[in-house]
Amino acid sequence: MTGEEKTIAGRKVDTMRCAIVCVIVMLFVSQVLAGDEAYKLGPDSMRRDGVPKGTVTKDVWHSNIFPGTVRDYWVYVPAQYDEKKSACVMVFQDGQAYVNETGDFRVPVVFDNLIHQGEMPVTVGIFINPGRLEDAKDAKKGSNRSFEYDTLSDQYARFLMEEILPEVGKKYTLTDDPDCRAICGISSGGICAFTVAWQRPHAFRKVLSHVGSFTNIRGGHVYPSLIRSTPPKPIRVFLQDGSNDVDNQFGNWWLANLQMESALKFKHYDYQFVGGTGKHSGKHGGAILPDSLRWLWRAAAPKASSK
């Protein structure tokens, strides 16, 4: 082989190497974009000049419904709140994740913007952490989260209705209209939100679930069949999940949420399912939170009553 032929052959090899590298980079980028990095917060999740800012206060609750547990909770009150009128209510499980203004969801910021724009009613937000056993020395072993959130009984609904709502109601005028009450959660908190509305549709009729754990942690995988075999309940449901969600011994989260969607569609529920490529996190849910809330609260002008 002549020197010129070697040079040409070398250039071909370099070109092939470059092409291979480009393909590898493209595959890597596609995998990155297929995860949480594809989702970014929009302007409705950012502070804006001229938008009245609500207040957030923190407190602690010792529960009787869940004996021996204590938990932190926060209450958001919009600037437009009028004590002479009944405000709508939205409850959030894993409250600290939702109330954090630098996290994935930034609910107080989103509430401020949407309420100011007239795209959701004047709403008091209640952000509740899962309970922890007061006498537990180990924080992880002392968590009561799975028992409270993944159990399909009415215990958590009673906890809200008999303890938290009356307590917050001592300070603020809250509605008792179920169409003006919403509940939201992520992962096990998502199935918990659905369970509350399923158990007490006369009290909560709006559900927002992020990467909900409709899997067999404590029997939650039965919901699709229950939905199909039970007369429709007057609840509105928004589900979000990603195809890269968890797959483990309890089930496949993505498939479980698809089953939920199919069952809700079969029974003609007022529902929305937004699927993506995200993982088991709040990235996707946070990015679409403003639009999720617009959909959830649509045609739900505040039914404020003078007191």
- Answer yes or no: do 3 and 70 share one domain: no
Q: Please count the structural domains in the chain.
A: 2
1 & 142 share domain: no
Instruction: Clarify whether residues 11 and 57 are in a common domain.
Output: no
For 87, half-sphere exposure in the C-beta direction (CA atoms, 13 angstrom radius) is 26
215 part of a folded domain:
yes
Q: Is residue 177 a part of any domain in this protein?
A: yes
216 and 280 inside one domain? yes
CATH of the domain at 105: 3.40.50.1820
Residues 70 and 172 reside in one and the same domain: yes
Shared domain for 66 and 192, answered yes or no, is: yes
- The answer on 222 and 88 residing in a single domain is yes
pTM of the full predicted structure? Answer: 0.87
Phi/psi for 182 (5° steps) reads -125, 160
Residue 170 covered by a domain:
yes
Query: Is residue 280 one of the residues assigned to a domain?
Result: yes
Residue-range definition of the domain harbouring residue 20 = 1-33
* Domain co-membership, 143 together with 2: no
C-alpha distances out from residue 31 to 19, 34, 53, 281, Å: 18, 5, 39, 16
Query: 94 in a domain, yes or no?
Result: yes
Same domain, 260 and 281: yes
What is the pLDDT tens value at each position of the chain, 307 positions in all?
A: 665 555 555 555 455 554 444 433 343 334 444 689 889 999 999 999 999 999 999 999 999 999 999 999 999 999 999 999 999 999 999 999 999 999 999 999 999 999 999 999 999 999 999 999 998 878 778 999 999 999 999 999 999 999 999 999 999 999 999 999 999 999 999 999 999 999 999 999 999 999 999 999 999 999 999 999 999 999 999 999 999 999 999 999 999 999 999 999 999 999 999 999 999 999 999 999 999 999 999 984 444 443 4
CA–CA separation, 255 vs 46, rounded Å? 33
Q: Copy the structure tokens of residue 157.
A: 């609904």
pLDDT at 3: 59
**CA angle (235 as vertex; 230, 238 as ends), nearest 5:** 110
Residue 291 maps to a domain: yes
* 47 within some domain: yes
Same domain, 256 and 160: yes
Q: Do residue 102 and residue 176 come from a single domain?
A: yes
Percent of the chain with pLDDT over 70: 86
Residue-wise pLDDT for 273-295, tens only, equals 999 999 999 999 999 999 999 99
- For residue range 173-206, list pLDDT tens digits in order: 999 999 999 999 999 999 999 999 999 999 999 9
Taken in order 284, 287, 293, 295, the sign of the CA dihedral is negative
Tell which residue, 211, 263, 210, 270, has the closest CA to residue 235: 270
Which amino acid makes up residue 252?
N
For residue 95, tell me if it sits in a domain: yes
Q: Please check whether residues 200 and 223 belong to one and the same domain.
A: yes
The three-class DSSP label of residue 233 is coil
